[in-house]
Amino acid sequence: MGSQQRVRRSQEERSRTTTNELLSAARKLFAGDGYTATSLDAICEEIGASKGALYHHFKNKRDLFRAVYEAEENRLSSAIAQTFTLHEDPWDGLYEGMREFLVMSMEPSTQRITLIDAPGALGWAEMRAIRSDCRRMIAYGLGQLLGRDRSRADVTAVASMVHGAACESAVALAHADGDADELLEATLLQFRRLFSSIASSVDKA
């Protein structure tokens, strides 16, 4: 490897390190203080970086928040995928994936970023675009379950319904007035019934 390549690799590694540090600091402050109350100065101070370094990686606070939100959604999507593959029965895998998604969504930091602040900071259209990976993952799992004889439109429609129900359930849990754990179990019971109904329709097809 030539000296120029080594220098370039070193610069790329430093850039990745700075980006990760900024994302980590931003997540901590966004989760603790909220999007509105968190300043870029505070984020830079958290890791001892200059605002110039921050602006090298992110255009503004909204851009940084978007990256934090996207990372959080990727974390949730990955949890669904990993849980799905751990179960021999794919319907159980899908159900347990939904459980994992909702339990993780109940974490105070995740709630604050994805459910409380994201709608105002990013807007629903951008949130839906970022969540598309999660929707596609659910569609993939359902495609395996529903069989090849089902049209792509059928699979997409069911996946959108399941994903929408999961997101709305997460919002309801975030704003629950009573026992959130009790609401979680009631919500999961409805998902169990929903999946049983879908599975039954597949068996009859």
Q: If one looks up domain 1-58 in CATH, what number appears?
A: 1.10.10.60
List all residues 6 or more positions away from 199 whose beta carbon is below 8 Å from its beta carbon: 91, 145
At the second CATH level, the architecture of 60-204 is: Orthogonal Bundle (1.10)
* pLDDT at residue 155 in the model: 80
pTM: predicted TM-score of the whole model, two decimal places:
0.84
C-alpha to C-alpha distance for 56 and 156, rounded to whole angstroms:
39
Q: 40 and 50 in contact (C-beta within 8 Å)?
A: no
The tens digit of pLDDT for each residue in 68-86 reads 999 999 998 888 888 888 8
The tens digit of pLDDT for each residue in 122-135 reads 999 999 899 887 88
Question: For residue 94, how many other CB atoms are within 10 A of its CB?
Answer: 24
Q: How confident is the model at residue 113 (pLDDT cuts 50, 70, 90)?
A: very high
